[in-house]
Structure 1
C-alpha cells in the first residue's frame, strides 16, 4: 500500500490513523494535556512523509488494532487484572495504612480512587481492626500542579468532618510522592513507635505492587483492597475492559520499574 500512495495521500492516511489512535493514548494517560496530544498527532502525521516510516505506522496500527480487540473481546484483560490483585482477610493490627490515590486539583477534591481507599480504611477502623490510620501528605508536583492541595490534608478534613474528636488517631506521612516513599515512611514509623501488624488499603489493581513494596522492607502487612471505583472489577462489558486498560498498563510498568530498582 505504501508503495502505491504518493506523499500527499500517505500524509492524509497517517493523519487519520493518528487521530484514531489518540483515544487509545488518552486512555493510557488521561492526564495528557492539549499540547502533548496535538504534538503526538503531528508526529504521527509526519510519519506519512516517507514510505519507510509510513509502513512502520501501518504495522503499528495493525498491531494495536489486534491488541485492542484482545483487550475488548477476550478474557485477556481479566487475566491481567487477576495478576494484579492481592486480597487478604483483615485481622487485628496496630495501624491501617491508606495509600494516596488521585486529586482533582482544580476543585481541591479527592478523586474517586482516593475516596474509595479512605472509605475502606475508615470501615476497617470502625470494625475495630486498628485504632489509627495513616494519610499521605502529598506534594502538588506529583499531580502535575504545584498548587494542588495535599491529598492527606483534604482527606483529614473529611475524617474530622465525619467523626470529629471521636474519629481515629490520624498519622500524616509528610511529603509523599510515590508508593515507595509511603512504604519507607511507614517502615520508619513502625520502627520508632513499635507497630508490628499493618493493614494496607489501596485500590485492587495497585495492591500487588503496594504490598510487595511494603513487605520488601520487612513489614508485616495484610492487603485489604478497597472497591474499584473506575470500572466494574468483574469486567462484564468491553467498556469496562477499556477503562481497565489505564490502571493495568500503569501497574505492570510500575511492577517492572520496582523490580528493576530492587524495591520488590
Structure 2
C-alpha cells in the first residue's frame, strides 16, 4: 500500500489534518465549527495514546481469526508465508509455546512440521522471502519443499504473484500465515485471487511487561493504534480498488 496511506494512519498525522481543517473553517468565518474541530485534536491524540483504546482497536482485527496450535489446522495444498516482519528470536523452533510461534516464518515451520501441507511458498520482496527460505533450510526443511516469490512489495502483490505460482501447479487450498492484525486484509486479497484460504495467524506473544494502568495515555501506544488503523485504511483502499 502506498506510504502516504500508512502515514495517514498515524494519530499525529490525523491530528494535524484535523487542526488544518479547523483552521480553514476559522478562516472561512465558521468559528464555532472550526473551534470544535480544533478542540478534537487533543481529545483524539489522548484517546489513541490510551492502552485500553489501542488494545480494543487491535482486537477488532486479531479476534476475527483466532490463533490455534499448528496441529489443529486442516491439511492444504501449500503453506503460504508472507514477509514483512523482523527476524524471529533465536530460540527453539520445535516448541509452540516458545517465541518462535509468534513469528510468521516460525509458525509456518510448525505447520510444515505438523504435515499440514507438503509445500511452503514464501512471499515477500526486498530479500524477505529468500531470508525466510534460508531460515527454514537451516531447520531441516528440504529445498524441494520451498518455493520463493520475491517480487512482491504489497499484500496485493503477495496475493497476485502467489496465486499465479500456485494455480500453475494446480494448487488452490492454502494455509495463509501472517500476523493476526494483518490477516483480514491478507485473506480478502488472496480470496480475491480465487484461492481457498485457511487463515493461520502466528500466535500472539505473551507480554513480558503488561500495562498496569490501561487508561493512562502513553506516547508509545500511538504506534499500536496506528498499526490497527493502517490495516483498516488498507482494507478500505483494497476494496475500493477491487483488490479485496
Tell whether the structures are fold-level matches, with TM greater than 0.5: yes
Distance 2:125 2:115 in 1: 27
Residue 78 of structure 1 and its aligned partner are, at CA, apart by: 2.1
For the residue of structure 1 that corresponds to 2:150, the secondary structure is strand
Tell me if structure 1 keeps the 8 A contact 2:48–2:221. no
Task: Give the counterpart of 1:246 among 207, 221, 226.
Answer: 226
Residue 159 of structure 1 and its aligned partner are, at CA, apart by: 1.6
Task: Give the counterpart of 1:192 among 168, 171, 179.
Answer: 168
Matches within 5 A, 1:20-99: 28=10, 52=26, 55=35, 58-65=38-45, 67-68=47-48, 71-73=50-52, 77-78=55-56, 81-84=59-62, 85-87=64-66, 90-99=73-82
What RMSD in Å do the two structures reach over aligned CA positions? 4.2
Residue 120 of structure 1 and its aligned partner are, at CA, apart by: 0.5
Label 1:158 to 1:83 Cα distance change in 2 as closer, same or farther (>3 A).
closer
Q: Which protein has the bigger helix share?
A: 1
Distance 1:126 1:120 in 2: 10
Q: Where in structure 1 are there 5+ consecutive unaligned residues?
A: 1-24, 31-36, 104-109, 140-149
- Find runs of 4+ consecutive structure 1 residues off by over 4 angstroms: 43-47, 49-58, 111-115, 229-232, 234-237, 239-243
Q: Where in structure 2 are there 5+ consecutive unaligned residues?
A: 1-6, 28-33, 90-99
TM-score by length of 2: 0.68
Equivalent residue for 1:19? none
For the residue of structure 2 that corresponds to 1:222, the secondary structure is strand
Label 1:46 to 1:114 Cα distance change in 2 as closer, same or farther (>3 A).
farther
For the residue of structure 2 that corresponds to 1:138, the secondary structure is coil
Which of structures 1 and 2 has the larger relative contact order (alpha carbons within 8 angstroms, sep 6+)? 2
Equivalent residue for 1:146? none
Deviations 1:167-208 (A, max 9, x none): 671111131111111111121122210112100001001111
